[in-house]
Structure 1
Amino acid sequence: MRGGPPSGARLYLALGRVAFLTVCAGLLFGYSTASIAGWLDEIGLVFDLSTSGKENVTVTLVIFCFFGAIAAGPLARAYGRRAVLLLAFVLAAAGYGFTLSEPDLLGFLIARILIGLSVGLSSMAGPMYAGEATPARHRGSVVSLFQLAVTTGILLAYAVPLWMDDPQKWAPGIGVGGVIAVAGLVSLALVPESPVWLNAVGRTRQAISAAVSLGFTHRPWTARKPATAAAPQPPLGQILRRGTTPAVLALCCGLFILQNLSGIDGILYYAPSIFVGLGFSPGTAALGATFGLGLINLLATLVAIAMVDRLGRRPLAIVGSLVMVLGLLGVVAAQSLSLPVLGLISLCVYIGAFAISLGPLPYVMMSELVPSAIRETGIAVASATSWLFNALVAFVFLSGVSTIGLAGVFLVFAGICVLALVVSLIWLPETRARHLDDIEDNVLSGVALRHVGDTPGVRDAKPVAS
């Protein structure tokens, strides 16, 4: 690199700029998806909604998160990661602005559609940008900041109804999320485009400049030249069949399916109703318990960020999945024995374990494992899969509770967490401190899924600039 390695201050300033953008994307995700929870009963009264009507209002945002995630792939490939994030924050600002006007039901649904599209776009582009714009030794922590920001956004969404203490203020209570969108637009002005994307589209000089400004000492892309007219990129189908690529895509999608079916979405969207079902009184008591759950989520995610680049991905996934099973079984026992405090403690145990395992790790793994040639498509598919199953849980949770009871629903969630434990033990690779191009070489050469994060043969590292 011209001028030598970046100084500590310069490196951490670069990390801070990427972290700020990552946090804004995560806050948008967390606040947007959970903001309706504390206001749902009042919204049901204002718009005269049945139980299924409340589910439909909740799931509208999630469905359009799915469409946003699907659109994010081709948009990120054609126009870059920053352009997708710009569109996401603009849509969010519009949706929250519309919500502040206290619209009728149709207007409220339109606002949630706009916000849903924005969250779907940012949930794909945010972690992908963080993974590509962060040096390897800090990548896990910076990408995990996305999940930390998600949990912070959720905590804020739970805190606002408690702070306002007036159900009729549902419109400003939800609409305050527009502040996050504005902060996101500011954060975009502080960072360059992803150097990996710039190199992929043949803008190598700009890629080198971006890499230097982001604190890289070596080029954060593979030595392969970008596709040209003389040497076009192989067809997508051919790339998808290379080496361990199919297994990588299956694992990334599978982790998001397990994440959403583990119970987290039902808890986030309907936490006040769950606590009422466990025996807490409606209103302040249920909202207070919900806020406590969000606080545990935030604190545990801080622990995960500190540990993900030290202990590695596999230990967190294995231990976290096991403890999640125990926490969910505790909720079942609390419901059966009418012990609301045990239910609160068990949910806190579950949330803490989720926050160090199935919470951040799917985002970290997808940003690391998907080969560069199909990164946009692969990450978009994984993100869309996440939102599809998120919508499924949001759509059927209340109906499921009324059909098989709260204990029955949580038993199903516990079974999913057992499956997550099995997947982590057998297939999850360790990618701690591995360079993206080393991981990609292993994937494309057909190394077994469990070992694609292993260190390949020694090879020269290419500096950013000579």
Structure 2
Amino acid sequence: MIIYAPPPILRLAFLVSCTGVLFGYGITSIAGVLDVLTPQFGLSLHQTQFLVFILVAGCFVGAIVAGPASTRWGRRPVMGLATLISLGAYGFILTAPSWAGLLTARALTGVSIGLYSMVVPMYAAETVHTPRRGAIVALFQLAITAGILLSYGLALWLDSPQQWYLVLAFGLAPSLLAVAGLAALPESPRWLSLHAHPRQASMAAHRLGLEDEWQAITQAEARIPHAASKSLRQGSVLKVMLLCSSLFILQNLSGIDGILYYAPQIFKGLGFSAGTAALAATFGLGAVNFLATLASVSLVDQLGRRRLWIVGSAAMVFGLAMVTIAAANDHPWLGLVGLCIYILAFALSLGPLPYVLMSELFPSALREQGMATASAISWLFNALVALTFLSIVETLSLAGTMLLFLGVCILSLILGIKYLPETRNLALETIESRVLEGLPLRQIGG
């Protein structure tokens, strides 16, 4: 009896997809049930924001832990820990817990997402052929948008006060699939090589179909001064850290988190009726997000990182300008179109590219530390938006809030033009050598 074994690239894509869906579903599933949970638990405005915030705070903790944990124990064990936490948290939500129990489960879900957010892009970048690296890391963002769309769709389908816990607990399904995905893949050969396990590294490279590249990779690594590269002051490492952190800060402060977490409330503010109409508009926004990110998976390796960032940032400015005008003049459909343009542009640029560039730019000896720091900073600003968005809208109005996000997108455009390197089709070892040589950020890329 012949048992079919999927190619390594498909096994890797499956794991990346499962964890990405868990990421997207976890962070947005609350959006569709906030209007149900508010009266059920008697929540004030600040308690509603805290319910959203507590998961993001857990993500921050997970991202901080992910760096040292993946350095010491490897990428697979950390992904396994994240999956175990996810299974427990979603299983508990399925019991329709009390207010305190719900907060605890969401905090644990956040920890698992924080671990995934740092380790999965790094593992994907380290275990795939160079020409497909951008696409496979961008697939993580695609799966995140699939999870977002799934959460919005379930909230629209199960629009009943008695079924809120089913919407929140559905993450149990991709958690179970992630277990199978992890079982089918080895540890990162680059991690094994860096931790003096050459034989296991060679075997892992063979299982991943990297035999053709592995000899060149090990020869390149032998020429890189790893001992010196362990310092942030080496070459352009500190500049890379600042750049990657800035990309995530701009990603979060561009407005995406507030829009994804509070989409039904935003559509009510634009003039759509509460309930099904707002949820339907939210689902439409999720569909645009998914389809645009699907396009980005191929475009990121065809058009390049820098070009997509610049064009996407400019389009986001245009979309948010439309939303600002719509919110100020009570034009709900203009606001919907503007949000669709904004989401489409975000999905092609600020959505996937910080993950892609983060996984590429950090030297191997500092990859865990650098990516964990960038991810933690990302979640810190994400938490800030989650905890304050409704209060900002109440203070500045919806139009004023969108104008604030528009200003951030202008800063994103300027950063892309002045500093962003193009890393398409460059081996990780080539990028690393340029970073350690101290080249300016723009010259690190092709």
Could you state the TM-score of these two structures normalised by the residue count of structure 2?
0.96
Give the equivalent residue in structure 1 for 2:274. 282
- Cα shift at 1:447: 1.1
Give the equivalent residue in structure 2 for 1:182. 176
1:15-414 paired onto structure 2 within 5 Å: 15-216=9-210, 217-219=212-214, 220=217, 223-225=220-222, 233-234=227-228, 236=230, 239-414=231-406
Distance of aligned partners of 1:143 and 1:429 in 2 relative to their CA distance in 1, 3 Å threshold? same
- Cα shift at 1:235: 8.4
Work out whether residues 221 and 436 of structure 1, in 8 Å CA contact, stay in contact via their aligned partners in 2: no
Question: Helix, strand or coil: the match of 2:302?
Answer: coil
Work out whether residues 66 and 388 of structure 1, in 8 Å CA contact, stay in contact via their aligned partners in 2: yes
CA offsets, 1:408-464, max 9 Å, x none?
00001000000000000010000001000000000001111111123xxxxxxxxxx
Work out whether residues 55 and 398 of structure 1, in 8 Å CA contact, stay in contact via their aligned partners in 2: yes
Question: Helix, strand or coil: the match of 1:420?
Answer: helix
Figure out how many residues of one structure are paired with residues of the other and give that number: 440
**Comparing 288-297 with 298-307, which one deviates more in the overlay?**
298-307
- Cα shift at 1:289: 0.1
**What is the alpha-carbon distance in structure 2 between the residues aligned to residue 300 and residue 141 of structure 1?**
14
Identity of aligned residues (%): 52
**What is the alpha-carbon distance in structure 1 between the residues aligned to residue 239 and residue 442 of structure 2?**
10
- Cα shift at 1:224: 3.6
Work out whether residues 292 and 344 of structure 2, in 8 Å CA contact, stay in contact via their aligned partners in 1: yes
Q: Which residue identity lines up with residue 220 of structure 2 in the other structure?
A: A
**What is the alpha-carbon distance in structure 1 between the residues aligned to residue 435 and residue 312 of structure 2?**
26
Q: Which residue identity lines up with residue 223 of structure 1 in the other structure?
A: A
- Cα shift at 1:232: 9.1
Q: Which residue identity lines up with residue 53 of structure 1 in the other structure?
A: Q
**What is the alpha-carbon distance in structure 2 between the residues aligned to residue 232 and residue 276 of structure 1?**
54
Work out whether residues 37 and 269 of structure 1, in 8 Å CA contact, stay in contact via their aligned partners in 2: yes
**What is the alpha-carbon distance in structure 2 between the residues aligned to residue 259 and residue 178 of structure 1?**
28
Distance of aligned partners of 1:232 and 1:134 in 2 relative to their CA distance in 1, 3 Å threshold? closer
- Cα shift at 1:31: 0.1
- Cα shift at 1:165: 2.4
Q: Which residue identity lines up with residue 270 of structure 1 in the other structure?
A: Y
CA offsets, 1:15-41, max 9 Å, x none?
111111111111111000000000011
1:443 is the counterpart of 2:417: no
How well do the aligned residues superpose, as a CA RMSD in angstroms? 1.6
**What is the alpha-carbon distance in structure 2 between the residues aligned to residue 24 and residue 370 of structure 1?**
25
Question: Helix, strand or coil: the match of 1:280?
Answer: coil
**What is the alpha-carbon distance in structure 2 between the residues aligned to residue 144 and residue 400 of structure 1?**
31
1:430 is the counterpart of 2:422: yes
Work out whether residues 195 and 210 of structure 1, in 8 Å CA contact, stay in contact via their aligned partners in 2: yes
- Cα shift at 1:46: 1.4
Work out whether residues 76 and 84 of structure 1, in 8 Å CA contact, stay in contact via their aligned partners in 2: yes
Work out whether residues 29 and 152 of structure 2, in 8 Å CA contact, stay in contact via their aligned partners in 1: yes
**Comparing 36-45 with 273-282, which one deviates more in the overlay?**
36-45
Work out whether residues 221 and 437 of structure 1, in 8 Å CA contact, stay in contact via their aligned partners in 2: no
Q: Which residue identity lines up with residue 423 of structure 1 in the other structure?
A: L
**What is the alpha-carbon distance in structure 2 between the residues aligned to residue 215 and residue 356 of structure 1?**
29
**What is the alpha-carbon distance in structure 1 between the residues aligned to residue 144 and residue 373 of structure 2?**
20
Give the equivalent residue in structure 2 for 1:5. none
- Cα shift at 1:226: 11
Give unpaired runs (5+ residues) of structure 2: none
**What is the alpha-carbon distance in structure 2 between the residues aligned to residue 182 and residue 244 of structure 1?**
41
Give unpaired runs (5+ residues) of structure 1: 1-8, 455-466
Give the equivalent residue in structure 2 for 1:459. none
Work out whether residues 63 and 375 of structure 2, in 8 Å CA contact, stay in contact via their aligned partners in 1: yes
Could you state the TM-score of these two structures normalised by the residue count of structure 1?
0.92
CA offsets, 1:275-318, max 9 Å, x none?
00000000000000000000000000011111110110011000
